[in-house]
């Protein structure tokens, strides 16, 4: 599984012009599921996202995680993160999970974040979504398991 995380001051996801989820300070997380992924990987990725220290402490060092700053987490599925872009001029999605597995592990990932006490607004799996965000820093990391 792959998560692209961005530290944001605000973010939202809209579907057909209507906001489906929004947050203030926190993490915007784009998630991709690959065909070899499992619930164990989804759980581990959720632990990494929640615990990853990307927020500044009093000394200006990235030593705090999203929970320590009372931040929120907005999660959007983005299968294009699993694209193979090594050859040619068109991405290959051969590593991406089939939709049924992708949806299940995406929802399981969100459930794991919620079990850690986070409110987790989301997009809708496989929907055409518009994402708006203000990247704070900018700070962006790719996490994989």
So which residues are the catalytic ones?
A: 78-80
d(CA 42, CA 23): 22
Cα 110 to chain centroid distance, Å, stands at 9
Residue 109 parent element (H or E): helix 99-115
d(CA 131, CA 6): 12
d(CA 140, CA 54): 9
d(CA 114, CA 119): 6
């Amino acid at each position: 599984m792959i998560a692209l995380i961005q530290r944001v001051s605000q973010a939202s996801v809209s579907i057909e012009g209507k906001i489906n989820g929004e947050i203030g300070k926190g993490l915007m997380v784009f998630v991709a599921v690959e065909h070899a992924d499992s619930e164990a990987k989804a759980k581990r990725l959720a632990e990494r996202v929640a615990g990853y220290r990307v927020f500044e402490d009093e000394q200006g060092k990235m030593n705090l995680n999203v929970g320590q700053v009372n931040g929120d987490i907005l999660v959007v599925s983005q299968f294009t993160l699993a694209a193979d872009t090594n050859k040619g001029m068109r991405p290959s999605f051969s590593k991406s999970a089939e939709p049924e597995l992708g949806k299940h592990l995406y929802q399981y990932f969100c459930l794991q974040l919620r079990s850690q006490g986070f409110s987790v607004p989301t997009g809708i799996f496989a929907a055409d979504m518009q994402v708006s965000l203000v990247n704070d820093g900018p700070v962006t990391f790719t996490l994989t398991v």
